[in-house]
Structure 1
Amino acid sequence: MSREAPNLAVLIDSDNAQAAVISDLLAEVSQVGTATVKRAYGDWTTPQLSSWKEVLNVHAIQPVQQFSYTSGKNATDSALIIDAMDLLHGGRVDGFCLVSSDSDFTRLATRIREEGLLVIGFGERKTPKAFVAACDRFLYTDILKRSGGSSGSGGGGRQGDSDAPPLKPFLCEAITAVTQDDGWAPLGMVGSLLQKNDPSFDARNYGFRKLSELVKAQNYLTVQEVPISPGSSQMHLSVRLRGG
């Protein structure tokens, strides 16, 4: 991506997403880039989408009308996919945020990534694993409204939600893989590998606001601040297995 702050298209499957999380979701998007396109797809003539009306106005989200000519929601999905492909080939955006828990968007996410663009997915815990894996990053929407971090008992912290991988082996494997010659693993590299291994990885799934808070709470890890380069006053966190 050529821009320091990438332009992102936020495309929402309103039939398969909750209006209540959109404020927090867009705040999350703003930490990655600028939402230059914000569209929500659905049949806005139905009472089922009435909760979206205020959200659309407050956040300047463009509603895209798609009548339900037949039973099911395939028409809505198709409209979103067509617009996504137009944006992809138009060169107007650097990445996409796909808001849905529907596996129908798995191939769309894969296709966008084939073009070298970023894909961030947002959905509920019921989201099929195939869609989650097709994204560069996937955030479960229930974590967006969680406040604060966990106190993280010395026993290794929470094991996380049922869909989150068991923390200790997952974390230890990533740390071992990026450990440098000095025996320490830069936390940034650890976080990147965790995300690659599981696009849905997020410290908030385990009750912590940040990865740094999560690793500091694990009694099998040692964490220290080290200069980013010899003689530098700028510091970064490194981690290693305790006793390693």
Structure 2
Amino acid sequence: MPSVPSSSLAILIDADNASPTVIAALLAEAAKYGTASVKRIYGDWTHDRLGGWKKELLHHSIQPIQQFAYTTGKNATDSAMIIDAMDLLYTNRFQGFCLVSSDSDFTRLATRIREQGLTVYGFGEKKTPAPFVSACDKFIHTELLEVPGEEKDTKPDKPTAKDLRKNTKLINLIDQAIKAGTPEESDWANLGAVGSLINKQHPAFDSRSYGYPKLRSLIEATGLYEFNPSEKHLQVRRRPKA
């Protein structure tokens, strides 16, 4: 049984730009990266539009932070979340932050946290602006998360090996990561290193967006690569031409 990550995480949620329907799946995803020591959500709770969050906050022990909208056209919620994040950052208690929003206003916050040497995991919809996505170490599109009770026909169809090979952007990304992750004395690259290199270049990369649950299954499905299971760490390389 795999061990639970020991990293301490602060999960900060922008209630105006996140849906309560994905919170259970989101917290399960965050648990892959560490333990949620702080879970806070920011919004104006005097408004009915946030009423859908109430049950989820109680069930998942998420602390609501009240922030009144002092004036029209200004997002006071963002400011409160940013100030709180900086206060938490300087406690030196955390190894990472989960920023839950589809709003580009948190781009600089993500960058600042990373400058401090901490890992930033972003969660947001596919409409999230590219600058915020790129500012995170890893960005997870919430549409890809397993939502309890959601119809499975919303999942992307699995492309065939032929379709995957036609996706030159994907194949080039895999090839470049394998090349960069292959030691001079070997023909094989560590699969874990390949995944890390891909994520560094494209934080929002996710094999689930291609219909495959894991990077290995996606790479394997192309038919262009082979794996070496004899080593302690699974290795991968381009299949030699016949």
Shift of 1:184: 1.3
Residues 129 and 204 of structure 1: is their aligned pair in 2 closer, same or farther, counting only changes over 3 Å? Answer: same
Shift of 1:50: 0.9
Is the contact between residue 152 and residue 158 of structure 1 (CA under 8 Å) also seen in structure 2?
Answer: no
Contact 1:156-1:220 at 8 Å conserved across structures: no
1:191 positional shift: 0.5
Secondary structure of the residue that 1:133 maps to in structure 2?
helix
Q: Distance in 2 between matches of 1:151 and 1:199?
A: 22
The one-letter code matched in structure 1 to 2:172 is P
TM-score norm. by structure 1 comes to 0.88
Task: Give runs of aligned pairs for residues 107-122 of structure 1, distance below 5 A.
Answer: 107-122=108-123
Q: Does 1:166 align with 2:163?
A: no
Q: CA 1:73–1:219 in structure 2 vs 1: closer, same or farther (change >3 Å)?
A: farther
Alignment match, 1:211: 215
Q: What corresponds to 1:199 in structure 2? A: 203
Q: Flag as ranges the 4+ runs of structure 1 deviating above 6 A.
A: 146-150
Secondary structure of the corresponding residue to residue 85 of structure 1: helix
TM-score of the two chains, using structure 2 as the length reference: 0.88
- SS across alignment from 1:72: coil
Instruction: Please report how far the alpha carbon of residue 73 of structure 1 lies from its aligned counterpart in structure 2 after TM superposition.
Output: 5.0
Given the superposition, is the C-alpha separation of residues 224 and 116 from structure 1 closer, same or farther in structure 2, using an over 3 Å criterion? same
In the alignment, structure 1 residue 155 sits paired with structure 2 residue 181: no
Question: Structure 1 residue 224: deviation in Å?
Answer: 2.6
Q: Equivalents in 1 of 2:226, 2:94: separation in Å? A: 41
In the other structure, the counterpart of 2:52 is 51
Structure 2 distance, partners of 1:73, 1:208, is 41
**Residue identity matched to 2:162:** G
> Which letter does structure 2 place at the counterpart of 1:154?
A
**What does residue 137 of structure 1 align with?**
138
Mapped partners of 1:226, 1:154: distance in 2: 25
Matched AA of 2:212:
F
Deviation, structure 1 residue 179: 2.1
Q: Does 1:239 align with 2:240?
A: no
Amino acid at match of 2:180: A
| Contact 1:159–1:206 under 8 Å retained in 2 | no
Deviation at 1:156, TM superposition (A): 5.2
User: Cα distance, 1:183 vs. partner?
Assistant: 1.2
Q: Equivalent residue for 1:232?
A: none
**Alpha-carbon distance change, 68 to 194 in structure 1, aligned in 2, over 3 angstroms:** same
Cα shift readout 1:40-99 (whole Å, capped 9, x = no counterpart): 000111111111111101000000011112123520000000000000011222211000
Q: Report the equivalent of 1:30.
A: 31
**Aligned positions of 1:26-105 closer than 5 A:** 26-72=27-73, 74-105=75-106
Residue 173 of structure 1 and its aligned partner are, at CA, apart by: 1.4
The letter for the 1-side match of 2:146 is K
User: What is the distance in 1 between the residues matched to 2:93 and 2:173?
Assistant: 37
Percent same amino acid among aligned pairs? Answer: 53
Q: CA deviation at 1:150?
A: 6.6
Seen in structure 2, the aligned counterparts of structure 1 residues 52 and 15 have a Cα distance that, compared at 3 Å, is same
Unaligned runs of 5+ in 1: 229-235
Does the aligned pair in 1 maintain the 2:156–2:210 contact within 8 Å?
no
Contact 2:165-2:171 within 8 A present in 1 as well: no
Residue 116 of structure 1: SS of its match in structure 2? coil
The offset of 1:149, in angstroms, is: 9.4
Query: Structure 1, residues 172-216: CA drift from partner, whole Å, max 9, x if none?
Result: 111122223331111111001001111111111211101111111
